[in-house]
Structure 1
Amino acid sequence: MNCKNCKKSITSKTKFCDECGAKVIKKRITFRNLIKDLFSNAFGWDNRYFVTIRTLVTSPHVLLNEYIDGTRKKYVNPFGFFAIGAAISLLAFNQFSEDYLSIVGEVNKKQMEAMNDVILSDRTNDENVSDNVKVLDHDELLKKQLAQGEKIQKTILKYYNLFSFVLLPFYAIIAFLTFWKPYNYGEHLVINAYIQGLTFLLTTIFFLLGLVFTTTIHFLGLGSTIIYYTYAYTRLYNLSFGQVIVRLLKFVVITAVMIIGLIFLGFIIGVVGSALGQ
């Protein structure tokens, strides 16, 4: 008999074709078989998507090394896995967009209040400025910042998937500079796609749990991203506790330098744009 997909000759006992890897189908289509295949392929624990999640949770270093070494059929493509995670997050955040914006707005409010207290602190001892003016300045500044922050969050929410894919190469650059060899930049891109694909799911789960119980759970989800990144790279590089601390410090420094560099670049572009506009 021949494989129905690639036509290579196979024996009657063959379960999977050696040439194309397709499963050898011998039974006729029945309603029972269709239902069984649906649950097996879409929801089964041996489904590639669930195998990918399970391995990333229990042994991330195994999946990452196997995929980089050439084991591809066993797991979902890294960028496909990343896209699925981003899509699930986007669906959840948009479905409960008002709750999402409320939670993020509350966080931004606390951060901005702390920053404004520092910015306006030099006016507290100014006798020429009344207390009412100080309060008005503080409230007006906070109001404008929150309005701007909400506008930015709505834009991010609208183009969530696009922002996710645009930022992925930057995360990979930071990881590459932090951890370096034996993996090249392209391999770090694959590693980060898998890691972020899973962290999308984690933050979504914590977000939904936060809606049901308390918003504090949502913030635990944000922390889970850092924890899982550390866990995955620790297993991948087999790092000791001391090495993990050193890499985390290196990560913070590199991230800070890149952010400052981007801000400086934006400033230069703004200055040049203004000069050309004149």
Structure 2
Amino acid sequence: MTCRNCENTLRTDFSFCPDCGSKIIRNRLTPKSLTYDFLERYFNLDNTFLKTLWHMIIKPEDVCGGYISGVRKKYLNPVSMLAISLTLSGFVIFLTKKLAWSEIDFSKISYAQTSSGGAGTEKIMSATMEYGSLLFLFYIPILAFASFVFFNKKQYNFAEHIVTAIYALTSFGIIGSLYAIPTLFISPQFYFETAILYSLAMVLFCIYVSYKNSKDSIKSLFWRIPMFLFIFLIGYMGVSVLTFLALFITGEISIQDFKS
């Protein structure tokens, strides 16, 4: 028999290909086998998913630093983490639109008010939400740059800080979905009113990951954290401006949405 992935010749008793490491599949897919493969890949404690999430909380330097140094089997890779996070993010947006939207009083969301009141806020937030996954991706280089400048005692290059930023953002996003999903069911209004605090918690978690991965002194955090936040704020404002320009160009919002 031959490996279907690399076409290497195999013995009939092999369970894995010795050349490429692929698992030998002998049977057709069934609902049972498909479910097992999914659960084994992402939720088996002996595998990587839950271990990656847990270690990103207690020792993120092992996850990020390990991947950067070449440890690729112990934890889930950043691309897979990104895929899971974007999927969950899409599900949260779906729930928001289909379940929670009609229950929200947009006139009470203070951090996103326009002069036209709740109607303008609702339209702008709805349009922005459509690009939520893209905006999530834009935050990765911003956080990586801030980390590269202010948390780089180990002299990682920018690409390696990209890895750290992906792990930090996706881990927070996945864990945060445990808060977002039930909150949308219980109190959509509370979820939206506290969204700014959720975003702040996300940035602070990214700072924590960058600090743990860099091993800078605790005393230096008094100036590193404000500078990190300053760089992120500039990047955030830049992304916000570009987002509004894109929404104006595409006609999804207009100047009328800001008039009372």
TM-score, normalised with respect to structure 2 = 0.69
Q: Tell me, which stretches of 5 or more residues in structure 1 are unaligned?
A: 113-141, 267-278
Q: Distance in 1 between matches of 2:36 and 2:235?
A: 51
Aligned counterpart, 1:70: 70
Q: Distance in 1 between matches of 2:5 and 2:209?
A: 38
In the superposition, relative to structure 1, how do residues 52 and 10 fare at CA in structure 2: closer, same or farther (>3 Å)?
farther
Q: Secondary structure at the match of 2:148?
A: helix
Are 2:133 and 1:161 aligned? yes
Deviation of residue 236 (structure 1)?
Answer: 0.9
In the superposition, relative to structure 1, how do residues 38 and 89 fare at CA in structure 2: closer, same or farther (>3 Å)?
closer
Percent identity between the two aligned chains:
24
Number of residues paired by the alignment?
235
Q: Distance in 1 between matches of 2:28 and 2:240?
A: 61
In the superposition, relative to structure 1, how do residues 100 and 186 fare at CA in structure 2: closer, same or farther (>3 Å)?
farther
1:223-252 deviations in Å (ceiling 9; x for gaps):
431342232122212244322232102213
Q: Distance in 1 between matches of 2:24 and 2:147?
A: 42
Q: Distance in 1 between matches of 2:223 and 2:87?
A: 34
Q: Tell me, which stretches of 5 or more residues in structure 2 are unaligned?
A: 244-260
Q: Distance in 2 between matches of 1:263 and 1:37?
A: 40
Deviation of residue 58 (structure 1)?
Answer: 3.2
Bigger proportion of residues as helix: 1
**What amino acid does structure 1 have at the position aligned with 2:55?**
T
Are 2:218 and 1:224 aligned? no
Greater CA drift, 47-56 or 94-103: 94-103
TM-score, normalised with respect to structure 1 = 0.65
**What amino acid does structure 2 have at the position aligned with 1:91?**
F
Return the match for 2:210 from 222, 229, 233.
233
**What amino acid does structure 1 have at the position aligned with 2:136?**
S
Aligned counterpart, 2:110: 109
Q: Distance in 2 between matches of 1:99 and 1:240?
A: 44
8 Å CA contact 1:8, 1:19 repeated in 2? no
Structure of greater relative contact order (alpha carbons < 8 Å, 6+ residues apart): 2
Deviation of residue 265 (structure 1)?
Answer: 10
In the superposition, relative to structure 1, how do residues 230 and 169 fare at CA in structure 2: closer, same or farther (>3 Å)?
closer
Return the match for 1:144 from 104, 116, 128.
116
Larger radius of gyration: 1
8 Å CA contact 1:48, 1:76 repeated in 2? yes
Deviation of residue 196 (structure 1)?
Answer: 0.9
In the superposition, relative to structure 1, how do residues 83 and 95 fare at CA in structure 2: closer, same or farther (>3 Å)?
same
8 Å CA contact 1:202, 1:224 repeated in 2? no
Deviation of residue 144 (structure 1)?
Answer: 1.3
Are 2:80 and 1:80 aligned? yes
Deviation of residue 217 (structure 1)?
Answer: 6.9
Q: RMSD of the alignment, in Å?
A: 4.1
**What amino acid does structure 2 have at the position aligned with 1:109?**
S
Return the match for 1:244 from 210, 221, 228.
221
In the superposition, relative to structure 1, how do residues 106 and 206 fare at CA in structure 2: closer, same or farther (>3 Å)?
farther
Are 2:175 and 1:198 aligned? no
Are 2:183 and 1:210 aligned? yes
Q: Secondary structure at the match of 1:241?
A: coil
Deviation of residue 64 (structure 1)?
Answer: 0.6
8 Å CA contact 2:17, 2:23 repeated in 1? yes
8 Å CA contact 1:52, 1:75 repeated in 2? yes
Deviation of residue 159 (structure 1)?
Answer: 1.7
In the superposition, relative to structure 1, how do residues 149 and 174 fare at CA in structure 2: closer, same or farther (>3 Å)?
farther
Aligned counterpart, 1:179: 151
